[in-house]
Amino acid sequence: MGERMKTYLVTGGAGFIGSLLCRSLAGKGNKVICMDSLVTGQKNNVSDLEGNPRFTFVEEDVRKVDLGNFKVDGVYHLAAICGVPRVEQKPLKIILNILEGTQRVLAWAAEKKIRVLFVSSSEIYGNPQVHPQPERYWGYTNPLGPRSPYVEAKRAGEALCRAYRIEKGLEISIARLFNVYGPGFRKDDPRVIPRFIQAALADEPLNLYGTGEATRSFCYVDDIVEGLVSLMDSGASDPVNLGYPEETEIRELAKVILRITDSQSEINFLPAICEDPLRRLPDISRAKGLLKWEPNTTLEDGLRKTFEWIEEFISQGSLSTDESKS
């Protein structure tokens, strides 16, 4: 007999990571319950899955829904509100959304003996003093800084995971994601790659904060989803970095996007953002050894795929935004 297919709950499943994860899990024959409040997710990300008997969409806030109605084998907990402008403008909403949602998921999963994968972030490393960042590095963060609502909520989320594992025996994995990009974001997404590509297509300036010498590690969403599935299946309990093991200066990113889009946009340098980390790069040794995972998509290839998706959806007028919910 073949392996029994499982049922998974994916919170934040209509986001651009969550939607691809839902598609991947359903494509492997699993049943998928996609839960999203559509605050930052968008239903058209999973519209192609409608009608699939293995897929169910539930428009609910994980903090309020009766989780007891769901019988699942595992939970991928991605639900969170992110983005620097949102963090600065709605700090209370950001931190409570993550903490309350994570607490409810973990308490329910512990009671029902359901395995959880908590999706954390490289933001927990803050402005790192160790480079690249291994999972054993504790981070260098300001708990009262402008980024702290998101950063500290993710750090506290990891602490909750540990507490539930120790006291309740919860089986849980933690994935620390580094700057994920790819198709499926909203028009008003504040992250640098969608901002730059949309500006380039509109022949508007690409706004860089500071000198542009700050670096990030950009990992294509397909690779991240493969890592998440592998981590869930591994049974690992220690945190695992998932990201692209090469760093790129933001000014170089802007030049690559201008070349790919064949845009004549100018690069506009603005004052640096307060407490913006100067370098960010994952040490993925643990993922390589434990999961046999490493990303396969180069930055240039991933940017081209993202550009093609954006170009198509802009031409169709399909990129969505809903400021009333953000």
Can you read off the two tokens belonging to residue 142?
């300001």
Can you read off the two tokens belonging to residue 242?
């998932």
**Interior CA angle at 119 toward 288 and 87, to 5°?**
130
Supply the pLDDT for residue 1: 42
Which range among 31-35, 195-199, 322-326 has the greatest average pLDDT?
31-35
Report percent pLDDT > 70 for the chain: 94
- State yes or no: pLDDT of 323 exceeds 50: no
Supply the pLDDT for residue 85: 66
Supply the pLDDT for residue 204: 96
pLDDT in tens, 60-89: 999 999 999 999 999 999 999 876 667 778
Supply the pLDDT for residue 28: 95
Active site residues: 150
- State yes or no: pLDDT of 317 exceeds 70: no
Least confident of 88-92, 306-310, 322-326: 322-326
Supply the pLDDT for residue 313: 75
- State yes or no: pLDDT of 48 exceeds 60: yes
Check: CB of residue 169 under 8 Å from CB of residue 110. Answer: yes
Q: Which CATH architecture has domain 7-182+218-245+277-296?
A: 3-Layer(aba) Sandwich (3.40)
Mean pLDDT of 145-167: 95
Q: What is the DSSP letter of 39?
A: S
Which class for 69: exposed (0-12), middle (13-18), buried (19 or more C-beta within 10 A)? exposed
CA atoms within 13 A on the CB side of 258: 16
Supply the pLDDT for residue 310: 87
Domains of the chain, residue spans: 7-182+218-245+277-296
- State yes or no: pLDDT of 256 exceeds 90: yes
Report percent pLDDT > 90 for the chain: 80
Residues pairing with 242 in the sheet:
177
- pLDDT, averaged across the chain: 92
pLDDT in tens, 205-235: 999 999 999 999 999 999 999 999 999 999 9
Supply the pLDDT for residue 84: 64
User: Which one, of 67, 52, 65, lies nearest residue 19 by Cα?
Assistant: 52
Say what the pTM is. 0.93
- State yes or no: pLDDT of 177 exceeds 50: yes
Q: How confident is the model at residue 2 (pLDDT cuts 50, 70, 90)?
A: low
Supply the pLDDT for residue 326: 29
